[in-house]
Every structure is written in C-alpha cells, then in structure tokens.
Amino acid sequence: GTLPHENFRCGTVALAGRPNVGKSTLLNALIGYRLSIISPRPQTTRHRILGINTNEAGQILYVDTPGLHRGAKKAMNRSLNRAARSAISDVDLVVQVIEAGRFTDEDEALYAALVEQSSPRLLVINKVDLNKDKTVMLPFVADLVAKHSYDEIHYVSALKEQGLKELEQAILKRLPVQPPMYGEDEVTDRSERFLAAEMVREQLMLRLDQELPYATTVEIEQFNDRPDGIAEIHAIIWVERAGQKAIVIGNGGAQLKAIGTSARRHMERMFERKVFLKLWVKVREGWVDDENMIKKFGYTD
C-alpha cells in the first residue's frame, strides 16, 4: 500500500502495571473495541494481546501485558512473568498504569524494571473517578514526581473514558514516522479462535468464586464456519479436580448454561455472525503446575 501521508506514525506501546490497575479496560477504551477481557480479579489477562488503533495521524499497536506476579512458584505464574517482561522490552513507548492515590511496592518494582529500558515512559494515573479529592491527589503526585522520572503524566478514567484523547496524542507524537504495519480495519493480531477461548474464560472469571478460575483454562477444540453462516465452536473447560468440574457445571447444568449463553453473545457481537457454542468440562489433574500443559494451552511467550 501507499503511505497515508509523510507524517504518518506507527509504533508499539506497552501498557504495563500491576494487576487490577485497569490496563485491559484502558486498552479497550483506547481502541474503542472490547478486545481484552476484564474482571475485578488479578490474572484475568494471561496473554500478550495486540490491540490496533488506526486513525489519520497514525497507527498505535498496544500491548496489554499480564501484570508481574509474585509467588512465581507455579509454572503458570512463571510463564506470566516471562510474558510481562518481554512485553516491556522491544517497544517504542511504555505506559505505566497506576491507580489514583496508590503507588505500591509492586508499582515501584515495575518502575525499576522500566528505568532499565531505553524507551520513553509515560505515567497514567487511572481511576481518577474514584479519587476526586485534590487535597489527596496533589500531595500524592508531588511525592511521586519527586522520586521518579516520567516523560509525561496523564490523569484518566478508563471506565468513564476521560482524558483518553490527550493520552492518545501524547502516545502518537512519541512513535516513529513510518507506514502502518496492519490494515486500517484490523483490530488485533489474534485469531477468532483465540478470542473465543478468552470469552469463555472471561465468564469463568466473572462467575466462579475464589480460587476456582485460576484452576481452569479453555481449549477451543473446533472452530468451524458452517455453510449456513453459523460459526460452530466447541470448547473444553479444563479443571484440576472432579469437585471443580461439578461446580463449573452447577445445579442441573445451570452454571455451565449461563457461562455458555453469555460467552456466545459476546462472540456473536465480536465475530458479527451467529454462533453455535458447545461446552464440555474435563478434568486434567495438576495442569496449573505442568509446563507442557501450559504450553499446550498457549501460555507461552
């Protein structure tokens, strides 16, 4: 293709931050598309996902990173940490996302890792909708900038979509002038198959209690576009123990049905066609601590 114009910019931006600060919400708001799954739980994002936003001025390739996790004993956590570290190297710009009024030890550790990278870094203070009190915010920020160096600071609410245009401008002007790497209609580098698994996993995150979501994963066994225009999708929900299987299925199958119905609705909206979704729950003991299983399920960098 031809270069849109001679000042067109294109580059990669890592959204980094500890779990739950709102990186995935921010990504979705910035690209205007519900790409990355969101839940109030940490570890919702397990994969490196590229979110693409193209406008007249340029093309921004956002990388939503899994947060760094403590307790890297389990193969799953180790794999997540590798993915998070590789995501902040090799980008044109890093955006560190924090929560308004809180800068924790984990935020500090991430900052230390960022300082070792040569790429410019912006600080995004998210969730300002929860913290309107200036007498709290001003000293918090004053203290922060006295001890850290960022190229710019932005106040946003990813949820209320506040401050995002200014942030986008700041990001764009730091990207290299070069032609786009993806087509202007492309929104992600991920396949529908991958997104389908994520949409089932999102429902598990939202509907299951306590530790159970962390013992589950989703495998798409079949993704078939039928001649009648319906996408037929078969997914396996893997759990670690028989007792967990019973919980995921629920009384008379009610839980599994609710998971399937919500996931299917999201798929139909994103894939823009009818979906026939079939779910199975299967037991694979100890998959969370098995490197081979983690690889099989795609948790690799």
Q: Is 24 near ligand GDP (CB under 6 A)?
A: yes
Using CB under 5 A, pick the residue from 10, 15, 18, 24 that binds Mg ion.
24
Q: Minimum distance between the CB of residue 195 and ligand GDP, rounded to whole angstroms?
A: 16
Question: Which entry of Mg ion, ligand GDP, none binds 21, CB below 5 to 8 A by partner kind?
Answer: ligand GDP
Question: Per-residue string for binding with ligand GDP, 104-143, x by CB under 6 A?
Answer: ----------------------xx-xx-------------
- Binding residues for ligand GDP, total number by CB under 6 A: 20
Rg over alpha carbons for the chain, rounded to the nearest Å, is 20
Q: Is 39 near Mg ion (CB under 5 A)?
A: no
Between residues 85 and 274, which has the closer beta carbon with respect to ligand GDP?
Answer: 85
CB atoms near residue 130 (< 10 Å): 12
Q: Is 45 near Mg ion (CB under 5 A)?
A: yes
Q: Is 17 near ligand GDP (CB under 6 A)?
A: yes
Q: Is 77 near ligand GDP (CB under 6 A)?
A: no
Question: Measured between alpha carbons, how far is 52 from 65 in angstroms, rounded to an integer?
Answer: 14
For Mg ion, which stretch binds (CB under 5 A), given 22-30, 89-97, 251-259, 291-299? 22-30
Question: Measured between alpha carbons, how far is 300 from 295 in angstroms, rounded to an integer?
Answer: 6
Between residues 36 and 119, which has the closer beta carbon with respect to ligand GDP?
Answer: 36
Q: Is 44 near ligand GDP (CB under 6 A)?
A: yes
Non-local CB neighbours of 188 within 8 Å, separated by 6+ positions? 35, 49, 50, 51, 52, 195
Question: Which entry of Mg ion, ligand GDP, none binds 20, CB below 5 to 8 A by partner kind?
Answer: ligand GDP
Interface contacts to ligand GDP, rule CB under 6 A:
17, 19-25, 38-40, 44-45, 126-127, 129-130, 157-159
